[in-house]
Amino acid sequence: MKQKNNSQSSNINKPYSILLVDDDPQIVHVIGKNLENKGYGVTTADSGESAFELLNKTPFDLVIADLVMGQIDGIQVLEKAKELYPESMVMILTGLGDLESAIDALRLGVDDYLLKPLLLEELHFRVEDCLKKFEDKKKIKQDQEKIRSSREYAQNIIDSSLDMIVSTDNERKIVEFNRAAE
């Protein structure tokens, strides 16, 4: 288990944290260094167990995990990441993939699926795509929170009004009213 954190991505202009999990030290080294050179904060783990320890302590924007590892495989790592941090993006990296395993992974909520050996340009494209989706998810969540807050604020104003306020639907049936209308 090795932890490194860098900042800026040249294309996304924002620091992102990536957890890279693979039991092949050469893969971890090459991909980890490459992502660091692109400006991402990269933390590496050499097993599913190590990844669980890191996930229990730290949220990651993107988790990239090898499909086949020791006792805890990539799917279990990605399920744990989604359980703890639902907004995190998750990606499978595997040398044993076929169409069926890709479909199974996607059904389980994996955001992307890469086959080894891979071209680093393809990796960068996929990582950027996942992080753009991550930003979109965060924005949607923030917008939903603003809408919820605005609705609560409006409802508080309506409820505290001394004037009768009644809301009807298109058929003129009462659907909502304030305390004064009671």
Residue 14: pLDDT band (50, 70, 90) is low
pLDDT tens across 108-161, in order?
778 887 878 778 888 888 898 888 888 888 888 888 899 998 888 888 888 888
SS3 (DSSP) at 32: helix
Give the pLDDT confidence score for residue 7 in this predicted structure. 35
Other beta carbons within 10 Å of 148: 10
- The answer, yes or no, to whether the previous bond of 15 is cis (omega within 30 of 0) is no
Share of the chain above pLDDT 70, in %: 88
Mean pLDDT of the chain: 83
Please tell me the pTM assigned to this model.
0.68
Please state the φ and ψ torsions of residue 63, each to the nearest 5 degrees.
-120, 125
3 state SS for 84-117: HCCCCEEEEEECCCCHHHHHHHHHCCCCEEEECC
